[in-house]
Structure 1
Amino acid sequence: MHFILVFDADNTLWDTNSVFHEAHVAMLEVFEAAQLLSDARRQVDRVRDIDRALIRHFGRFEYGFKNLATAVAYHYRHQADPSDAAAYVLERGEQALDTPMRTAVEQAYRTHTHALTQIPPLFPGVADLLGHLRTYRDANPHLATAIFSEGHPERLARTIDAYNIERHGYFNEIVIELKTAQAFERVRDIGRQCLDVADGDDVVTIMIGDSMQRDVRLANEAGFTTVYIPGSFEGRQVPQTELEQPDFEIERIAELPSILASLGLHLPGR
């Protein structure tokens, strides 16, 4: 039996949500200083609502955060509904704001961008799991591991470098591109190439991620086995379609080895 393990990165291996939370607070503090709002730290949910509206429009989580800063400013200046603020700003851009607000938007955007350079912490159990996977893979030609993320390449590169992920050889491949069912199929093909398997060989390809839409559904479409870990950004999701139903659900990544063992992959020391 051959195995390909594909991990989402943000909010699966490391807590990106905590970094974005503080970046949103930093943005709001700029607008608080511009007297658009008060008690910035209590306003993050409003920013998240606007962020989600923009994500729906662009079809990805990182879409150019000048749009977010502009929409947040418009929301507070005109008391607009978060989704309406996002839509209006997408139609008119910064023309929706007066000159003083454009200055505040630029400062808020730069502050937000700087805050995103912070390195997110690994989730408990991740470093231990990656070490066990590498030990198993080094001694066993039947396992390949990959990261598949659609996060911003420069931001991901900082985190990957901070934890020496490439230097320690934790993964055979790191793929950064927009997630689609076809992209998942390509990732599976990359894993098969790493394993050097023949067409008839039995290969189990497993996706581990925190999003039922971007990880579970698309991986299911590509024929993966799927493992869902609820994350702090999306929260615990409920499947809306059969394709969003994961094969397994766990609370934390430290529980993954038991799932792998049930599928026939027994890691050393577990």
Structure 2
Amino acid sequence: MSHELTVVLVDADNTLWDTDAVFREAQLLVLARIEVAMGRTCATADRLAFIRSYDQALAQNHHLHLRYPAQLLVRSVEAGLAGIAPEVAARDIVAGRTLTSGPLVPADVEAIVSDYMQALTCTPRLLSGVDEGIRAAKDAGLRLFVMTEGRIKKQKHILELHGLLGSFEGVWEMTKERSQFDRIVGRFAGSRVVVIGDQPDRDIVPAKAAGCLTVLVPSRFEPSWQTASDRSVVDHVATDFLDAVRWCIDTDFTKASVVS
């Protein structure tokens, strides 16, 4: 089966590599540092769930979404250890209101943020099936591109470290909105465009609305704002990246529409 008319847009974080694991270790480091500074211990058994509840609340309240300033996470978790709920902490901290008069002074916050940002520089490991999936895609003649909301320089660096940069025809930093996918579909008029990603709301829903075929490789971390309806529109749910590529190869695209 020929696939020269198939363009595959691949998400990077948590689709090609395990960004979640890097954030997990960095966030737990932040929590531990704040606990020491405050002389308090998180009472919740699931420490990761505790700090991520504040992270997600901030993302939902801040106009930069998940790119909110890291200082806000430190202040939010500080409030959380003082007994303030995630939604309240996020709303007030984003609005610039001080919630506690605890021991964390600005220098403490900056030191914790510095350690957090350093921890996030760790190179994430490739996820299951990525090496094999990329080889299979290239052998089948699929045209591969990376689409990312992360910083393009960093994503290219990670691809290069894993020896994968040359496997992709391009790496694009883009806001994953329908309008952006519409532009990509227009660019590849006459080809089938398939999107592979891990987040239904960011990767799948806007791509599907633009007329792309979609494959979900579910992330271990599912944000609280994901809904069942977001996931329901996907064309295929894959077990890993290799399974996603095999679906692209094995699907009878003669029965699928070509973007005109």
Using the size of structure 2 for normalisation, the TM-score is 0.84
1:69 to 74, 77, 97: 74
Q: Counterparts in 2 of 1:91-106, with a 5 A limit? A: 91-92=95-96, 95-98=98-101, 100-102=103-105, 103-106=107-110
Equivalent residue, structure 1, for 2:183:
186
Q: Counterparts in 2 of 1:23-102, with a 5 A limit? A: 23-38=26-41, 42-57=46-61, 58=63, 60-77=65-82, 79-92=83-96, 95-98=98-101, 100-102=103-105
Deviation at residue 65 of structure 1 after TM alignment: 1.5
Please tell me whether the aligned partners of residues 61 and 151 of structure 1 are also in contact (alpha carbons under 8 angstroms): no
Deviation at residue 179 of structure 1 after TM alignment: 1.1
Deviation at residue 56 of structure 1 after TM alignment: 1.7
Give the Cα separation in 2 of the matches to 1:74 and 1:151: 28
1:248 to 223, 229, 236: 236
Q: Write out per-residue CA displacement over residues 14-45 of structure 1, whole angstroms, 9 at most, x where no aligned residue.
A: 11000000000111121121135326994221
Query: How has the CA–CA distance of structure 1 residues 154 and 71 changed in structure 2, closer, same or farther, with 3 Å as cutoff?
Result: farther
Q: Write out per-residue CA displacement over residues 202-234 of structure 1, whole angstroms, 9 at most, x where no aligned residue.
A: x21111111111111111111111111110111
Give the Cα separation in 2 of the matches to 1:147 and 1:210: 13
Deviation at residue 133 of structure 1 after TM alignment: 2.2
Runs of 5+ consecutive residues of structure 2 not aligned to the other structure? 254-260
Residue 251 of structure 1 aligns to a residue in which SS? Answer: coil
Give the Cα separation in 1 of the matches to 2:8 and 2:95: 41
Give the Cα separation in 2 of the matches to 1:231 and 1:106: 30
Please tell me whether the aligned partners of residues 74 and 96 of structure 1 are also in contact (alpha carbons under 8 angstroms): yes
Equivalent residue, structure 2, for 1:149:
148
Deviation at residue 136 of structure 1 after TM alignment: 3.7
Give the Cα separation in 1 of the matches to 2:155 and 2:70: 16
Number of aligned pairs?
246
Residue type at the aligned position of 1:172: E
Q: Write out per-residue CA displacement over residues 88-109 of structure 1, whole angstroms, 9 at most, x where no aligned residue.
A: 111115x445484133322221
Residue type at the aligned position of 1:160: L
Equivalent residue, structure 2, for 1:131:
135
Give the Cα separation in 2 of the matches to 1:113 and 1:165: 25
Taking only aligned residues, the RMSD between alpha carbons, in angstroms, comes to 2.5
Residue type at the aligned position of 1:248: H
Equivalent residue, structure 1, for 2:258:
none
Identity %: 24
Equivalent residue, structure 2, for 1:117:
121
Give the Cα separation in 2 of the matches to 1:88 and 1:17: 27
Please tell me whether the aligned partners of residues 227 and 249 of structure 1 are also in contact (alpha carbons under 8 angstroms): yes
Q: Counterparts in 2 of 1:186-265, with a 5 A limit? A: 186-190=183-187, 192=188, 201=190, 203-234=191-222, 239-240=228-229, 244-264=232-252
Please tell me whether the aligned partners of residues 17 and 127 of structure 2 are also in contact (alpha carbons under 8 angstroms): yes
Query: How has the CA–CA distance of structure 1 residues 64 and 235 changed in structure 2, closer, same or farther, with 3 Å as cutoff?
Result: closer
Q: Write out per-residue CA displacement over residues 159-191 of structure 1, whole angstroms, 9 at most, x where no aligned residue.
A: 22321332xx1111111122111111223345x
Residue type at the aligned position of 1:67: L
